[in-house]
Amino acid sequence: MKLKQRVVVLCAVLLLLGLAKVFLLDGGEGSAASRRDLRAFRKMEASLALVRGARLTHTLQSPWEVAAQWVGPREVYPDETPELAAVLNALATARVERADVGYKGTQLKALLVLDGGQKVVFKPKRYSRDYVVEGEPYAGYDRHNAEVAAFHLDRILGFRRAPLVVGRLVNLRTEIKPVATDQLLSTFLMQGNNTCFYGKCYYCRESEPACAEGEGMEGSVTLWLPDVWPLQKHRHPWGRTYREGKLARWEYDDSYCEAVKKMPPYDAGPRLLDVIDTAIFDYLIGNADRHHYESFQDDGGASMLILLDNAKSFGNAALDERSILAPLYQCCM
Ligand SMILES: Nc1ncnc2c1ncn2[C@@H]1O[C@H](COP(=O)(O)OP(=O)(O)OP(=O)(O)O)[C@@H](O)[C@H]1O
Ligand SMILES: [Mg+2]
């Protein structure tokens, strides 16, 4: 065979092998779709990756100023945020300037001010990683690691409605006590060699403090939303009664959504869809405690539902609490 013929035969064989692979091994059309999915997944993975220890490459703005500028009516941070890792790193490492009792909410927490005047919420570790919370779907203390995981799920799903959260180990003796207000300091106590505090809140009890291992306390640190974006609290239409034997209307009336749809802010704009998005998010994280939610103020219903307070999640991996999905199955099915 002449060289030219050989090249033609070789090309034909290669073409046949390529086609065989596509149609026989990969399954044709389906595989093209799955390759597209894989490419999209890899792209998403790359955009979600965070570099540990990242810092801002400029000194024009502080990490707090950068993050404050991200906030908009429908997102806490935009899709493209190359500085996200640097802001998270600052949250995890910036010096604590001041520490006070958390003055909002009913659960134990501390309000910290980080270097540069940035307010953050510190929710202390109460359970070991593998502790399973039994009982009512909203039972137990807050879970600090649930806040961290929920924030990352919010990123993965592309909602971008949860304030930024990191995990952080703080030394209570050297980082917190020297800058703590008297009110917070007065709630410190020792249990054996462990430093503990019980804070000031509705469910805060001296008999139920959060304790460090020695002086080191793990917790979640949530970036406070900028004060120029004041919040408005709303009762969640699918909230629970938290009373044994007393059902909320949605628990016995399957046409409840029809009533909700007639009430502002659910009768127009995106709010009802946000409630449904949140139900899916909460189902995935196992959060049955969204009794209230917050949006930005005075926006005529245009603001997103902010995914604040995801701490009552990931309590029991074996439990899928279907009732969390009620907004979805009552409004959409
Ligand atoms: N990152 C934040 N930015 C702005 N405000 C915040 C932030 N975190 C908490 N808050 C405010 O503090 C309130 C209480 O916070 P959070 O819901 O986390 O605490 P909680 O003790 O679990 O509350 P609850 O008892 O209502 O469940 C929120 O409703 C909100 O008004
Ligand atoms: Mg809560």
pLDDT digits (tens, 9 = 90+) for 58-68: 888 999 999 99
User: For the ranges 98-107, 129-138, 247-256, 292-301, which has the lowest average pLDDT?
Assistant: 292-301
Say yes or no to pLDDT of 13 above 90: no
Which atom of ligand 1 is closest in space to residue 201's alpha carbon? 21
Q: What angle do CA 165, 242, 270 make, to 5 degrees?
A: 55
196 domain residue, yes or no: yes
Residues 27 and 76 in one domain: no
> Is 294 flagged in the annotation as binding?
yes
pLDDT (tens digit, 9 = 90+) per residue, 148-164?
999 999 999 999 999 99
Residue recorded with tokens 């046949």: 16
Tell me if 115 sits within 8 A of 126, measured CB to CB.
no
Which atom of ligand 1 is closest in space to residue 311's alpha carbon? 22
Task: Determine the 3-state secondary structure of 133 from DSSP.
Answer: coil
Number of domains observed in the structure of the chain = 3
What is the rounded average pLDDT of the residues 197-226? 98
Residues 170 and 191 in one domain: yes
- What is the structure's pLDDT at 300? 80
Question: What distance in angstroms lies between residue 104's CA and the mean position of ligand 1's atoms?
Answer: 6
Question: Which amino acid residue places its CA nearest to atom 6 of ligand 1?
Answer: 224
What is the rounded average pLDDT of the residues 89-99? 98
Say yes or no to pLDDT of 112 above 80: yes
Tell me if 286 sits within 8 A of 319, measured CB to CB.
yes
Residues 241 and 310 in one domain: yes
Highest mean pLDDT among 38-47, 102-111, 276-285: 276-285
Residues 40 and 68 in one domain: no
- What is the structure's pLDDT at 314? 97
Secondary structure tally for the chain: helices H, strands E: 10, 10
Residues 121 and 248 in one domain: no
Residues 25 and 76 in one domain: no
The answer to whether the CB of 105 is under 6 A from ligand 1 is yes
Residues 287 and 165 in one domain: no
Q: Which of 130, 289, 299, 320 is catalytic?
A: 289
Whole-angstrom Cα distance, residue 92 to residue 88? 6
Say yes or no to pLDDT of 299 above 90: no
What beta strand segments (E) does the chain contain? 96-101, 110-114, 118-124, 165-171, 188-191, 194-197, 210-211, 216-223, 231-235, 292-296
165 domain residue, yes or no: yes
> Is 208 flagged in the annotation as binding?
no
Nearest to 327, CA basis, from 240, 200, 197: 240
| Of 223, 248, 273, the domain-final residue | 223
The answer to whether the CB of 163 is under 6 A from ligand 1 is yes
Say yes or no to pLDDT of 17 above 70: no
260 domain residue, yes or no: yes
Residues 159 and 30 in one domain: no
Say yes or no to pLDDT of 176 above 90: yes
Q: pLDDT confidence of 31, banded at 50, 70, 90?
A: confident
- What is the structure's pLDDT at 154? 98
Residues 89 and 218 in one domain: yes
The answer to whether the CB of 195 is under 6 A from ligand 1 is no
User: For the ranges 42-51, 66-75, 200-209, 238-247, which has the lowest average pLDDT?
Assistant: 42-51
**Mean per-residue pLDDT over the chain, rounded:** 93
Pocket test for ligand 1, best of 70, 76, 104 (most atoms within 8 A of CB): 104
Residues 259 and 189 in one domain: no
What is the rounded average pLDDT of the residues 45-70? 91
238 domain residue, yes or no: yes
Catalytic residue status for 298: no
The answer to whether the CB of 147 is under 6 A from ligand 1 is no
Question: Which amino acid residue places its CA nearest to atom 30 of ligand 1?
Answer: 104
Which atom of ligand 1 is closest in space to residue 294's alpha carbon? 29
Q: With residue 161 as reference, give the H or E element that holds it.
A: none
Nearest to 288, CA basis, from 264, 313, 271: 313
162 domain residue, yes or no: yes
Residues 162 and 304 in one domain: no
- Structural domain including 22 reads 3-48
Residues 217 and 285 in one domain: no
57 domain residue, yes or no: no
Say yes or no to pLDDT of 166 above 70: yes
How far is CA 197 from its chain centroid? 25
> Is 107 flagged in the annotation as binding?
yes
The answer to whether the CB of 106 is under 6 A from ligand 1 is yes
Percent above pLDDT 70 for the chain: 92
> Is 225 flagged in the annotation as binding?
yes
Percent above pLDDT 90 for the chain: 80
